[in-house]
Amino acid sequence: MTIGLIAKKIGMTREFMDSGISIPVTVLSIEKGRILNVITKDKRGYDAIQVGFGKIKNSKLTKQMKGFFAKKSTEPRKFLKEFRVANISEYKEGNEIGIELFKDQKFVDVTSNTIGKGFAGVMKRHNFSGLRASHGVSVSHRAAGSTGQNQDPGKVFKGKKMAGQMGNKLRTIQNLEIIKSDQENNLIYIKGSVPGSKNSIVLIRKNSKKIDKTTTIGKQLLTETQFSKSTVDKNIKSKTQVKKETPEKKVEIKEVKK
C-alpha cells in the first residue's frame, strides 16, 4: 500500500485548456495529515506510519483515544489511517503530509463508498428483464422468479442474485488523472469517476499500477504541435508554388514583345 491522503469531495466543475477544450473534473479538498506513530519491524513485523486526518471535538472521544492523543501531545484527529512504507527513516512523528505528496504525480487511485440507493429490486439491482407485461401475468411483472431448488438441496445458495441493498460499497477507481492541483487552497482536480456523493470522504493514493499512458494535457500539446506543423508546411508549399509560377509568366511576356 502506498501513502495517501484523505480528502472531501466538494463537487464537479470544468477546466478549460488554452485551445478552448473543456475537461470535466471533480474537485477534492485535502486537509494536511499529521504522523502520529511510526511503526517498525521490531514492534509489529512491518514498517508503517499512522497518520491522523480531520478535526474532532475532545468531548466526542472515548477515554482510550483521549489518552492516546494526550500521550502524543497532539490535537484529536477524526480519522486514523495506517500506510506501509519501504523506508521508515524518512518519516518522523509530528511531521505533516499535504498536497505536495502528489506534486509530480499524474495518476492516482481513489477509494470511497459509492452512493447508496437503498433497497432495490432485481430489475434495478441486477438488470433482470422481468416477466411479460401481458394478459395472464398478475402482480408479478417485476418479480424475481424462483430462487430455490428441489427438496435436495432444499435451500437458496449464498450469492444468489436477489433484491437487497444497492450501492454504499467500498470501491477503488484506479489510474484517475490529475488535471490540476491548487496548493494554496489545498484543492486537487481529478478527471474520471470519483466514487461517493458530495461531502463524502475519499482516500487518494499514488497509483499502484505502472502505466504508460499519455495525459489529456499531453494529448492536447501533441495536437497543437501537429496543427502548428501542418500550418507551417502549408505556408511553405504555398510560397514555393508562387516562386515557381512567377518566372514562367515573365518568359511569356518577353515572347509577346518580340
Residues 226 and 203 in one domain: no
The torsion of the CA quartet 77, 5, 86, 1, rounded to 10 degrees, works out to 110
Tell whether 146 is covered by a domain: no
Tell whether 144 is covered by a domain: no
Give the best-scoring range by mean pLDDT among 40-49, 94-103, 161-170.
Answer: 161-170
258 falls in which pLDDT band (50, 70, 90)?
Answer: very low
Residues 186 and 62 in one domain: yes
Spatial contact of 173 and 181, defined as CB atoms under 8 Å apart: no
Residues 46 and 23 in one domain: yes
Percent of the chain clearing pLDDT 90 (strictly above) = 48
Residues 223 and 122 in one domain: no
Tell whether 92 is covered by a domain: yes
Find the mean pLDDT for residues 57-67: 92
Tell whether 136 is covered by a domain: no
Residues 168 and 244 in one domain: no
How many Å is the Cα radius of gyration of the chain? 31
Residues 169 and 221 in one domain: no
Residues 108 and 234 in one domain: no
Residues 167 and 67 in one domain: yes
| DSSP per residue, 158-219 | TT---SEE-S--EEEEEEEEEEEEETTTTEEEEES---S-TT-EEEEEE-SS------HHHH
Find the mean pLDDT for residues 210-221: 81
Tell whether 44 is covered by a domain: yes
Find the mean pLDDT for residues 93-121: 91
pLDDT at 91 over 50: yes
pLDDT at 239 over 80: no
Average pLDDT score over the chain = 86
Tell whether 100 is covered by a domain: yes
pLDDT at 138 over 50: yes
Give the torsion sign (CA, 38, 40, 43, 45): positive
Grid coordinates representing 36 are 502520529
pLDDT tens digits, residue range 189-211? 999 999 999 999 999 998 888 88
pLDDT tens digits, residue range 112-124? 999 999 999 999 9
Where a domain ends, among 209, 227, 250? 209
Q: Residues 6 or more apart from 126 whose CB is under 8 A from it?
A: 161
pLDDT at 242 over 70: no
Residues 104 and 201 in one domain: yes
The count of structural domains within the chain is: 2
Residues 122 and 197 in one domain: yes
Domain that holds residue 252: 214-258
Tell whether 141 is covered by a domain: no
Q: Residues 6 or more apart from 87 whose CB is under 8 A from it?
A: 47
pLDDT at 13 over 70: yes
Single out the residue of 49, 4, 58, 66 nearest to residue 31, CA to CA: 4
Give the best-scoring range by mean pLDDT among 117-126, 146-155, 232-241.
Answer: 117-126
pTM summary value: 0.77
pLDDT at 232 over 70: no
3-state secondary structure of 28: strand
Report pLDDT for 130: 87
Tell whether 143 is covered by a domain: no
Residues 97 and 196 in one domain: yes
Report pLDDT for 2: 79
CA distances from 50 to 35, 59, 72, 88, 190 (A): 6, 22, 12, 12, 26
Residues 114 and 221 in one domain: no
CATH of the domain at 17: 2.40.30.10
